Structure 1
Amino acid sequence: MNVLDLVRPSIKALKPYSSARDEFKGVPKDMVFLDANENPFENGVNRYPDPQQTTVKGLLSKLKGIPVENMLLGNGSDEVLDLIYRAFCEPNIDNIITLPPTYGMYSVLANINAVSIKKVLLSEDFQPQVDKILDIADSNSKLLFLCSPNNPTGNSFSSELIEKLLTEFKGVVVIDEAYIDFADTPSWIERLNEFPNLIVTQTLSKAYGMAGIRLGVSYASKEIIQVLNNIKPPYNVNELTQQRAIEQLKDEAKIKEQIQSILDERTALIEELKGISFVSEIYPSDANFVLAKVDDATRRYDELISKGVVIRNRTTQPLCENCLRFTVGTPKENKVLINTLKLI
């Protein structure tokens, strides 16, 4: 497969905008910058940020073992996903495939970009139904979204099933790994070189504890990354976001400690949920949350809200009738949750 054949013709023909910081990339201290119409009075953010986020990418490259040229950063994963739509999907012509229950923004972004949606429900054990996916795909099916570990179910998809889809689906396969740091399974970024149609998205909002700065990452072939770079806004990741990301990514020990705490608390939370009388099933989780089936999800959700505990009611989602999603919090927060569940 030549993945560039899937790119929209207008995008392939696009001449990308060249910002002042793209044209002059060096930043020696003795240079006088009069090229970008910035306010000259120094306050830490009066200059435009690095449009390629060089330092952040360098730290991520070291952590993930992926070359800088194979990654693109965005204003949250949602911007990264939107760029993928713009690159590959012709409005009012192409379609994408999603596997409900899954992350709702895939459909929202499809609607924003005037791209139709084909849906194939996950199986009863929350795995992709490969044959149905391949059957429903047509020549205009440009993107297939796999959220693994999946939100809201929490499970990872079978690597054999994903590999079959990567091999046989004729479009781009986007694997959303927002929760991969909480899973035992390896990331698909390790196999980028095997599949030219693979894009892996990750985020610094979950395991890295930086939801407030909005920083998403996509990993793909150099060819795909170049296409996405051509269409991204020139300064899409602001200076403050880059500074906070650099600070956090340098403290790898703290990140690992927090991930382990969440994993330990996830195990403890699952054990406690087993003792709640109205919880009938607890689903396996590779994420930082637990999905559980209860007797009446809306009633229990309202009762928890009334006592100051906010969770997520997923009962309206396919295959999730009467299911509640519990994010794993601190030991103190989880204790409050369990005590409240016992109380009601």
Structure 2
Amino acid sequence: MKPFALTDILRPHILALTPYSSARDEYTGKEGVFLDANENPLGSATDGSYNRYPDPYQTAIKEKLAPLKGVRPSQIFLGNGSDEPIDLLVRATCQPGHDSILILPPTYGMYEVSAGINDVPVIKVPLTPDYQIDVPSVLKAVQPTTKLLFVCSPNNPTGNLVDREAILTLLENFSGLVVVDEAYIDFAEMESMTALLDQYPNLVVLQTFSKAWGLAALRLGMCFASEELIRILNKIKPPYNISAPTQKLALLALGRVAEKDRMVADVLDQRTVLHEKLLASPLVRRVHRSDANFLLVQFDEPKAVFDFLIDHQVIVRDRSKVTLCEGCLRITVGTAAENNRLLEMLKKYAESVTTTF
């Protein structure tokens, strides 16, 4: 394995940065007369008590989340969605206009967007036709200035798990951070890469409360990494990046793991049914295997099908112009009723085409 030292890839000024010290850094107790943060002492102009700043490090959530994920609380960073840690990782490591990140299209678009916002060049190495990592090409494309390598698994928009051995090869042969985005891991039959955090100091794992937990509106993302890197992310994040209502609701959800698991099981059942019924449609050329809560489906006439569905208020994502996704629509697995509505509209479109000819 290549030697790895976090200090070698961090921007020098980040190491020297003095972080903002909030009032809750200086006093972490729950009781007292709080005259330190210029808050409104009279309460809130709404239902509930929101006049006090929230815990800047979300301690209660991390203590409850850690045993569920098999990590230590000190290995957890919580962000405003996964987008916040993605952005912070870029800002912490990449000198604008100089350092680069490497992505594997087709993949989640925010890696490239975050790089663009920060004026960081992006190296692209496409996945193979079966949506796996072309490891030799990736390692060949890596530059001395490449600081981050993003791997989405299960991948968005293709839905498949990426070969674990390929990720391990990258971890062992890349001297920067390998960021494995596991937003959809709850729907896959594979252990999370978080189990390897202590073995690989250059591993970062992203997860989210948006998908399996059903908390997309809260915007709460999880980042698991070495304690050293977590300290850096805490150093450069906004002081109170996770609101008190979000923390309260996340804690409530963490007490209902069985409910989350039931929802995941229901989605997986519907995924199987939807996969089979889409395959039977004369409009469909291929339904790609999915380890996520969506299906990538290849149609003979994707644009026409997409427009027809939109006209009938069935909204899917057109991925037909994305690398290696030619002719494909990405379809989220809905409820049984929603999936049936989709299938009814596809049948109606097929009948209209047959009638025309």
- TM-score interval w.r.t. the shorter chain? over 0.9
**CA deviation after TM superposition for structure 1 residue 73, in Å:** 0.4
Select the residue among 332, 339, 344 that pairs with 2:344.
339
Where does structure 2 lack aligned partners over 5 or more consecutive residues? Answer: 350-357
Which whole-Å CA distance do the structure 1 matches of 2:7 and 2:163 have between them?
28
**CA deviation after TM superposition for structure 1 residue 21, in Å:** 0.5
Which whole-Å CA distance do the structure 2 matches of 1:334 and 1:278 have between them?
16
Where does structure 1 lack aligned partners over 5 or more consecutive residues? Answer: none
Match in the other structure for 2:319: 314
Q: Secondary structure at the match of 2:298?
A: strand
Which whole-Å CA distance do the structure 1 matches of 2:283 and 2:238 have between them?
49
Is structure 2 residue 11 aligned with structure 1 residue 2? no
Select the residue among 156, 160, 168 that pairs with 1:155.
160
Letter in 1 for 2:24: R
Does the Cα contact within 8 Å between 2:56 and 2:241 map onto a contact in 1? Answer: yes
Q: Secondary structure at the match of 1:303?
A: helix
Superposition misfits of 4+ residues, deviation over 3 angstroms? none
**CA deviation after TM superposition for structure 1 residue 20, in Å:** 0.2
1:90-129 equivalences under 5 Å are 90-129=95-134
Which whole-Å CA distance do the structure 2 matches of 1:74 and 1:132 have between them?
32
Number of residue-to-residue matches in the alignment: 342
Q: Secondary structure at the match of 2:178?
A: strand
Does the Cα contact within 8 Å between 2:70 and 2:194 map onto a contact in 1? Answer: no
Which whole-Å CA distance do the structure 1 matches of 2:122 and 2:5 have between them?
24
Match in the other structure for 1:13: 16
Which whole-Å CA distance do the structure 1 matches of 2:304 and 2:65 have between them?
43
Q: Secondary structure at the match of 2:18?
A: coil
Which whole-Å CA distance do the structure 2 matches of 1:292 and 1:170 have between them?
37
Match in the other structure for 1:36: 37
**CA deviation after TM superposition for structure 1 residue 3, in Å:** 2.0
1:226-265 deviations in Å (ceiling 9; x for gaps): 1111000110001111111111111111111000000110
Q: Secondary structure at the match of 2:43?
A: coil
Match in the other structure for 2:71: 66
Match in the other structure for 2:352: none
Letter in 1 for 2:11: R
1:269-319 deviations in Å (ceiling 9; x for gaps): 001101110101110000000001100111110011111100011011000
Greater Cα shift, 145-154 or 60-69: 60-69
Select the residue among 83, 94, 111 that pairs with 1:89.
94
**CA deviation after TM superposition for structure 1 residue 60, in Å:** 1.0
Which whole-Å CA distance do the structure 2 matches of 1:65 and 1:199 have between them?
15
Which whole-Å CA distance do the structure 1 matches of 2:303 and 2:7 have between them?
47
Select the residue among 175, 181, 186 that pairs with 1:181.
186
Is structure 2 residue 325 aligned with structure 1 residue 323? no
**CA deviation after TM superposition for structure 1 residue 225, in Å:** 0.4
Q: Secondary structure at the match of 1:76?
A: coil
Match in the other structure for 1:220: 225
1:189-200 equivalences under 5 Å are 189-200=194-205
Which whole-Å CA distance do the structure 2 matches of 1:57 and 1:328 have between them?
30
Is structure 2 residue 28 aligned with structure 1 residue 25? yes
Letter in 2 for 1:285: S
Match in the other structure for 2:269: 264
Which whole-Å CA distance do the structure 2 matches of 1:305 and 1:11 have between them?
47
**CA deviation after TM superposition for structure 1 residue 62, in Å:** 2.6
**CA deviation after TM superposition for structure 1 residue 68, in Å:** 0.5
TM-score normalised according to structure 1 size: 0.98
Please provide the CA RMSD for this pair: 0.8
Letter in 2 for 1:37: N
Letter in 2 for 1:303: F
Letter in 2 for 1:62: P
Match in the other structure for 1:242: 247
Does the Cα contact within 8 Å between 1:4 and 1:224 map onto a contact in 2? Answer: no
**CA deviation after TM superposition for structure 1 residue 158, in Å:** 0.4
Greater Cα shift, 1-10 or 280-289: 1-10
